[in-house]
Amino acid sequence: MPGLVNWLFRPAERDTEGLVEHAPVMRVRAVIKRFWPDARPFRGWLLLSLLLVLISPLLDTAAIWLFKVLIDDVLTPQNFAVFPMVAAAYAVLTLLSGVLDFCGQYLAVWIGENFLHRMRTRVFAHLHTLSVGFFDRRRIGDTLSRLTDDVGAIESLVLSGVAQTFSSVVKILLFGGVLFYLDWRLALVALVSVPLFWLVAKFFARRIKDAAREERGRSGSISTVAEESLGNASLIQAYGREEAEVGRFARQSRGNVVAELSAARIGALFGPLTDLMQVFGVLAIVGVGILELSAGRISLGGLLAFLIYLSQLYTPVQSLGQLVNRVFSASASAERIIELLDQKPLVQSPPDPVPLRRVTGRIDVDRVDFRYPGTTNDVLHSVSFCAPPGQTTAVVGASGAGKSTLTKLLLRFYDPERGRILLDGIDLRQLDIADLRANIAIVLQETLLLDGTIADNILAGRPDADERQLVEAAEAADAHEFIQTLPEGYETRVGQRGRLLSGGQRQRIAIARAMIRDAPILLLDEPTTSLDADATRRILAPLRRLMAGRTTIVISHNLLTVRDAQQIVYLDNGRITEAGTHEELLANNTGYAHLYRLHHPDRGQAAVPEQQVAPPRPVDGQLPN
């Protein structure tokens, strides 16, 4: 027996793989209070739906009363004269109750779905206010699972939960009142079991919430593993990791099953237990009912109607109990949403930003120290340099030196720990983030394409551009030609992350996007790294066209693009150890020169590298070669 009890109440296993961020535990009342303001636009409709909820048990009460009339005034005295009236009343009541049920149910779904839509959009919009750092730390799969599944739980807490509680309470009061009206002694006997219901429901509620919390977490882990695994299908297949991945997925899925079963055992036990209590209650009433009948204090019709009202009373009491359980399990989901909503963006625009239009593009990096949130080591140490307007500054250094980190600070994905970055003499922290980013165009190593058409992807740089500007940008990016050979030209879809295009084609689309943006500042982060020599050669000319006249910060291992720069900054473990032109740094014969020779072993100490590609664009007559 103790073994059986243990099995019935065995909790779900805790997930120890740490794929999802655990949400802080909250009281149900606090959860409801938190989301109640979100229901504001629906409160009028909710009131109407509560009104319908109120009318429906009234009709039920009348129908049961008609049953009493049928027995006591038609069947017992065998009086047919009253029957047509009773029958007509029944028909009208049923019709009315049908219409009201339809309206009530549709209204409830309408309110629920519209609330859900607003909530989902709000959470999604909130996610987009968060800094890039949040997405670096979080598993996308879990966030998706919260956005799709957990959001629904809030609706059941603040809307359908409220409506159902109201409906149950109304029914209990109404049917309870009629019971007292029919025979108060019997009614007292009937109500003795109500507190018992509550105790049982309370006992179950906490266990259900624990199981639900684990189940939701596991569901997030399943999505996380699926998203990571399927998103990297080529890597996994190339390295034969399929079995290991399936195993990882199965582990989370099994954990979900265990949590679901734990919740199911507790949930399934609740129903029969309350049924049992109900049967004992009814038997006790029948016993006392016989005494009442023989004492003439109630008619047979009255006793039967009493039992029917009683059965109607148990249903709302029982559903109130189940509702408590449902609310507790839904609040486990709501906790996960609250955890998301409570995330604050690491960087925010100031309340009174300095107005900014098109900048001239002077960038001053002033003694910047930086470390990533939650880490212990500085990635940048007292980094200072100036990128003059319209000129190219190359940031060079070994892998992990902090080059990309610098571009993240320029885009204000993060703020420096100490020091500042100035744009046209204004600290980035004083600017509206949108104004700042409107002045910057980026081309990254791994081209970011959205799953839309080629035109969509280029126009993402400037949505209000017209078709002529679109084609001009594509031509300047050397992309127009290949786009025209595609079956649907500019309207060809590029597939998820642009997988239907080659690396070089993706990169040229990215250049066209930056081109159409026509921003005064350009950030190029390893734009040629993922390309082979031929593809690199093809994008160098468009890249140079893009760089012309803009303040460009280029991070590259490809010293071909670096050689074009008027200034080269050499980063070593987060510190600037050298700065100057290509020739100056080669003459220094330290970090940069070593890196250069690493890439061009045949060049030795040669100060002037020979031309490898089409002649570089003549920038202000200052080109190193």
Ligand X SMILES: Nc1ncnc2c1ncn2[C@@H]1O[C@H](COP(=O)(O)OP(=O)(O)OP(=O)(O)O)[C@@H](O)[C@H]1O
| Closest approach of ligand X to the CB of residue 529, in Å | 8
Nearer to ligand X, 119 or 555 (CB): 555
Q: Which of 229, 405, 439, 558 binds ligand X (CB under 6 A)?
A: 405
State both tokens at 472.
Answer: 């001009």
Looking at 36-44, 298-306, 403-411, 469-477, which segment touches ligand X (CB under 6 A)?
Answer: 403-411
Nearer to ligand X, 45 or 372 (CB): 372
Q: Is 404 in the site for ligand X (CB under 6 A)?
A: yes
Nearer to ligand X, 72 or 572 (CB): 572
CA distance 615 to 625: 9
| Closest approach of ligand X to the CB of residue 407, in Å | 8
| Region 553-612 residues binding ligand X, contact defined as CB under 6 A | none
Looking at 160-168, 402-410, 435-443, 583-591, which segment touches ligand X (CB under 6 A)?
Answer: 402-410
CA distance 469 to 480: 12
| Region 248-287 residues binding ligand X, contact defined as CB under 6 A | none
H or E element: which one contains 419? Answer: strand 418-423
Adjacency order of strands within the sheet including 551-555: 440-443, 521-525, 551-555, 392-397, 567-572, 575-580
Nearer to ligand X, 177 or 373 (CB): 373
Q: Which of 104, 141, 402, 542 binds ligand X (CB under 6 A)?
A: 402
Q: Can you tell me whether residue 67 is helix, strand or coil?
A: helix
Residue where the block lists tokens 């027996």: 1
CA distance 486 to 325: 57
| Closest approach of ligand X to the CB of residue 380, in Å | 8
| Closest approach of ligand X to the CB of residue 401, in Å | 4
173-200: buried (b, 16+ CB within 10 Å) or exposed (e) per residue? ebbbebbeebbeebbebbbebbeebeeb
Beta bridge partner(s), residue 575: 572
State both tokens at 335.
Answer: 């906790």
CA distance 108 to 163: 8
Task: Name the residue type at position 421.
Answer: I
H or E element: which one contains 65? Answer: helix 43-69
Nearer to ligand X, 90 or 372 (CB): 372
The 372-401 site mask, x for binding ligand X (CB under 6 A), equals: x--x---x-----------------x-xxx
| Closest approach of ligand X to the CB of residue 373, in Å | 8
Q: Do the Cβ atoms of 537 and 613 come closer than 8 Å?
A: yes
φ, ψ of residue 453 to 5 degrees: the values are -85, 170
Nearer to ligand X, 377 or 485 (CB): 377
Looking at 107-115, 141-149, 371-379, 516-524, which segment touches ligand X (CB under 6 A)?
Answer: 371-379
| Closest approach of ligand X to the CB of residue 434, in Å | 23
Total of chain residues touching ligand X, rule CB under 6 A: 12
Nearer to ligand X, 322 or 404 (CB): 404
Beta bridge partner(s), residue 622: none
Distance of CA 38 to the CA centre of its chain: 17
Q: Which of 17, 101, 136, 467 binds ligand X (CB under 6 A)?
A: 136
| Number of residues assigned to the chain | 625
| Closest approach of ligand X to the CB of residue 370, in Å | 9
| Closest approach of ligand X to the CB of residue 570, in Å | 11
| Closest approach of ligand X to the CB of residue 375, in Å | 5
Q: Do the Cβ atoms of 162 and 46 come closer than 8 Å?
A: yes
Binding residues for ligand X (CB under 6 A): 136, 372, 375, 379, 397, 399-405
